[in-house]
Structure 1
């Protein structure tokens, strides 16, 4: 069974200003209390989709909108298996540009899909995902899906709706899918990533930052559905103050028109390191 979006994307994609054409590495190794060091590799697949390779070689895939993503690198768009083995699937909410190919990838890899409880349930009851390939949890819930890897669900200020094509009628149906979430992902070496999912501003961003202390934040900047560049910059400068930030959720939908150039301008004077990426680019931390 497929999950579909009523497409309103324009034929011409928006070009993103100020992105570097060549891949680069961010050498920011983290260190645990035991002194062990390791690198984390991050690949941007477009929109909010990332593949993270942990220091111990495990692969985490977040919000994999791949075959339907207008900016997905062609090698992955045409062949899901090119992503390689996946050890952990995380989805922040049910909108198609986030859930995307997650059920197909779960079945392809015999890997559990972790996500908001009320998103996972309709996937199971509609037959889109086997129950044994799912894990339901909610905000402040913490799981250890891989050895040494902890994932905590945190607040996101956003909506969630599952659009599903009924195979009996061939018609699209809309199903409630609970609330959107973000994730604090703590890797084996203690490096912490906050994938914010889709979100607007909310004051508890400050609490989340103070309590979980993320090293790297993946922040939406596109506007319209999420924070615009200036609001994202306000949150980062005022409440979060991480070491590094990767802007995401822009350049794939003309309704989300925020750009990296606008974000960089709004971040001027901040000591937070901005890591702008192009779709298909890999960086290391």
Structure 2
């Protein structure tokens, strides 16, 4: 009888929607939507939505349909690699809108709590090499913070004085996101070259790499290509953090050229485009 009910409900679904397609969870795939700079929306195979470095509303490369945070869709978790505006700008608003926790460098979260930017229950603590399993109902999904060679601070407008203040931002991090299907995504945040990228590649073995290529503030195309080819060696790489600032002049074309005949698959997405894994 239960099987009959299930079949009947599926038939009703088909009649109502006209067609049914497999969800990402059913297909065992993850989806990455690039929103410009270092901002990504990751939908995991089980349907959890993770926003990474959300700078959307004032990001010149974020498509218009994603600038309205209330229309962005559900958000279950937020990852922030460091305290600079172009990585954390919309994290507090999204966190409050969805009651979603923000995982970031531990000292940055301490600053956000002390300044009352977000309530403590939305600011769990972690630090480099720490691994968390953020969803009790998705035991295979794990997130590890790793080193990034950059800086971090948090600029806060004091409501009492209307003046900007500079506060502790903790040390910047990258994130290794191990999905419930076993695939690993390495979001590098903002970083320059450092030798332990080779260790990260060998130890964590990321399948998908999200790498900054703009230069000036991070690696440029040549450095990023070297790190990709020689040290990290993912299956797939998506270049990011370029095209939003005139000082960050690196381009996807330059990165592709620097990659040469590498076996790594390069996906030069445009903001608003998606990739499935």
Q: Is structure 2 residue 73 aligned with structure 1 residue 84?
A: yes
1:72 is displaced (CA, Å) by: 1.0
1:134 is displaced (CA, Å) by: 1.0
Q: Is structure 2 residue 58 aligned with structure 1 residue 68?
A: yes
Deviations 1:228-277 (A, max 9, x none): 00000011111111100000000111111100011011001101000010
1:125 is displaced (CA, Å) by: 0.6
Superposed counterparts of 1:1-285, under 5 Å: 38-77=28-67, 79-146=68-135, 147=138, 148-285=140-277
Higher share of residues assigned helix: 2
- Return the TM-score normalized by structure 2: 0.88
1:100 is displaced (CA, Å) by: 1.2
CA RMSD after TM alignment: 1.2
Contact 1:37 1:189 (C-alpha < 8 Å) held by counterparts: no
Deviations 1:70-111 (A, max 9, x none): 11111121x101211111110000000000100111110011
CA distance in 2 between counterparts of 1:282 and 1:238 reads: 26
Deviations 1:140-193 (A, max 9, x none): 000001212100000000000101100000011111211000000001100100
Q: Following TM superposition, where does structure 1 have runs of at least 4 consecutive aligned residues deviating by more than 3 angstroms?
A: none
CA distance in 2 between counterparts of 1:271 and 1:76 reads: 33
CA distance in 1 between counterparts of 2:259 and 2:160 reads: 51
Deviations 1:38-76 (A, max 9, x none): 111110011000001111111011000011211111112
Contact 1:241 1:272 (C-alpha < 8 Å) held by counterparts: yes
CA distance in 2 between counterparts of 1:81 and 1:50 reads: 16
CA distance in 1 between counterparts of 2:243 and 2:71 reads: 23
Unaligned runs of 5+ in 2: 1-23
Q: Secondary structure at the match of 2:253?
A: helix
Q: How many residues align?
A: 250
Which of 1 and 2 has greater Rg? 2
Q: Which has the higher contact order (CA 8 A, sep 6+)?
A: 1
Unaligned runs of 5+ in 1: 1-28, 30-35
CA distance in 1 between counterparts of 2:120 and 2:44 reads: 27
1:37 is displaced (CA, Å) by: 6.2
